[in-house]
Each structure stands twice: as C-alpha cells, then as structure tokens.
Amino acid sequence: MPAAIETEGLTRRFGNRLAVDDVSMTVPKQAVYGFLGRNGAGKTTTLKMVLGLIRPTVGVARVCGLNVARDRIAAARQVGALLEAHGFYVNLTGAENLALTATLLGTPGTEIDRVLEVVEMRADAGRKVGGYSLGMRQRLGLARAMLGAPPVLVLDEPTNGLDPDGIADMRRFLKALPERTGATVLLSSHLLGEIEQTATHVGVVNDGKLALEGELARLKADLAPEIVLRTDDDVRAAALLAGHDLVAFATENGLSAALRPGENIDRAVAALNRALVQAGLSVFAIGPRARSLEDIYRRVAAPAQRPAQHQAEAA
C-alpha cells in the first residue's frame, strides 16, 4: 500500500541557494504528520513541490502513489491544501468563495454546506470575506481544503492567526480528522507545542535537509532517559553526578542529567538519591523528566548549541 505522501531525494535550488536538499520523507496513511522547522528551513518549498506548484530540481514527490510531476492533475485530485496565502476574493462571501472552488473541482453544492458545518462557519458564510478575521479566513481555508473530501490534506501553518481558543479547536479538529474521515494530514509549523499535541508522526527539516523523521511516540521513547533534581547545593550535586559518569546540566529548576539509553530510570534515581543523601545534600526533588518534542527538535535542529550553552550555565 503506497504512503499518502512520499518524496525521494527531493531537491530544489533557487539560483545558488539550495532551499530543499535531498529530502526523502514518508507520510503514512491516516497519520497526522507534523513538518517542523524554522522559518526559511524549506518547509513551504517542500509542500509546494508536493502540491506540484513548483518543480523539483531533482527527485520525486508522490501523493497516494501518483507522481506529482508526471501526473499533476490526478495527484491534485487526492489533495486539499491550505496555503499560507489564502487567495480569497474579499468582495465575495465565504460561501461564494467555496462555490468557485467547488465548481472547479466539480463537486456538488451540498459539499459547501458540509464543510462549512465541519469548521462551524455556517453562520458567517453569507458575509463578505473582506470582513473576516484572520482566524475565520483560516477556518474557511480549511473548509475549502476539505471540499470533495480528499484523502490527503496539506496544511501550511494552519494555526497562524488563530486565538488560543481557535488554536485549541484546530488542534482537536486535526487530531480527530484521520479517525473521522480517514484522511491523512501533513501540516507544517514552527510551533513545537502544537505539533506535539496534534501529530502522530514528525519530520524535522533543518537548512533544507530532513534531519529526522518518524513516529513521535517512538522518537520520544528512543531518547536517552533524563532525570531532574533539585538540591541545596547544585555544584556539589553536579560533582557527585560526575562521579557516576553523568554530565549534569543546569536548568531553570535545578540540574538535569541524561542517563545511558536503556538504563532503568527507577533504579538510577534511587541510587542517585541514596548517594546524594549519603553525601549530606538535602534533596528537594528528584525524578525522571518527561521527554518532549522540543528535546527531539533541539537534538537534530540545533545540535551544536546545547552542550556548550548548558555546560556554561552549569559552570
């Protein structure tokens, strides 16, 4: 069974600048795939190649097994997209904007009511888009992407411009989408927290290269476990940890130290606690630290920064 989206060695050069460099990514069917990276990392360029909006210099993009460069129209029938530039006609109402796209897609008019219902925009559908807030435009864009119920949704920064309630709604909506409709969602963002709470899979792009990709739960599990501790003397505690072959880093809430991959965290915490108490230190808190997407992101997107920065802090 082909992946919902698959790229092989996708590369795009603009003059001398390499915007996307040999990106091979796989978005499994019914996944919510968070495509992460800094602004300018190459996310939008990659998405544009997936949508057939720009041609790759080298490489292939496939949507549901269809080669986008060779059969753009068939591939485009599988995709609904929400792009950074919404492209709404502000002198038309929300419903009229959707009707234009529905005509081009050849979908029945009933689809318009359905998608408006899904994004809870029926009440405002008769108003001109010029009077919409950014959040409303974002929801209307999502409704437009869902016209014709395409199996794949490509969403470029879907939470841009949304207020906190809107972000929470969008998060819930996207998370439930694969189960409700069977759709696959590829969403790009630079907001780690949003992706962490929404995505089942992640891909991190850094300077045009895909630095990491995989199932989010597995990536988190693969990280070396870390403990955090707070004592009355962190300098002595750090020295004691060093005696146990552990490098301690100063954090906002005390010290943090990475264990060896596979090490039993409960036993390690108990042993360290014992050692700290025996050394006469008062231990205020000690325990495992939950691993986050930020840990994964920092490890691959800015590998050179962390040790230098944190060791400096510890010293």
Work out which of 13, 28, 54, 233 binds another protein, going by CB under 8 A. Answer: 54
Could you say whether residue 308 binds another protein (CB under 8 A)?
Answer: no
Q: Does 51 bind another protein (CB under 8 A)?
A: yes
258 is an interface residue for another protein by CB under 8 A: no
The reply on whether position 49 binds another protein by CB under 8 A is no
Q: Which of 8, 96, 169, 207 binds another protein (CB under 8 A)?
A: 96
- Are 191 and 174 spatial neighbours (Cβ–Cβ below 8 Å)? no
Task: Tell me the site size for another protein, rule CB under 8 A.
Answer: 31
The answer to whether the CB of 244 falls within 8 A of the CB of 235 is no
Question: Two tokens at 95?
Answer: 């419903």
What are the φ and ψ backbone dihedral angles of 5, each rounded to 5 degrees?
A: -135, 135
Site string for another protein, 266-285 (x = CB under 8 A): --------------------
Among 1, 104, 123, 290, binds another protein (CB under 8 A): 104
With both helix axes pointing from N to C terminus, report the angle between 134-145 and 164-181 in degrees, rounded to the nearest 10.
10
Give the separation between CA 155 and CA 169, rounded to whole angstroms: 15
- 90 contributes a contact to another protein by CB under 8 A: yes
**Across the chain, how many H-helices and E-strands are there?**
12, 15
Residue closer to another protein by CB (options 74, 224) is 74
Of the pair 96, 169, the CB lying nearest another protein is at 96
DSSP 45-105: HHHHHHTTSS--SEEEEEETTEETTT-HHHHHTTEEEE-SS----TTSBHHHHHHHHHHHH
Kindly state the smallest distance separating residue 215's Cβ from another protein, in Å.
Answer: 28
- Which residues between 121 and 150 bind another protein (CB under 8 A)? 144
To which residue do tokens 């949508």 refer? 51
Q: Which spans of this chain sit near another protein (rule: CB under 8 A)?
A: 14, 48, 51-55, 73-74, 76-77, 79, 81, 83, 85-92, 96, 99-101, 103-106, 144
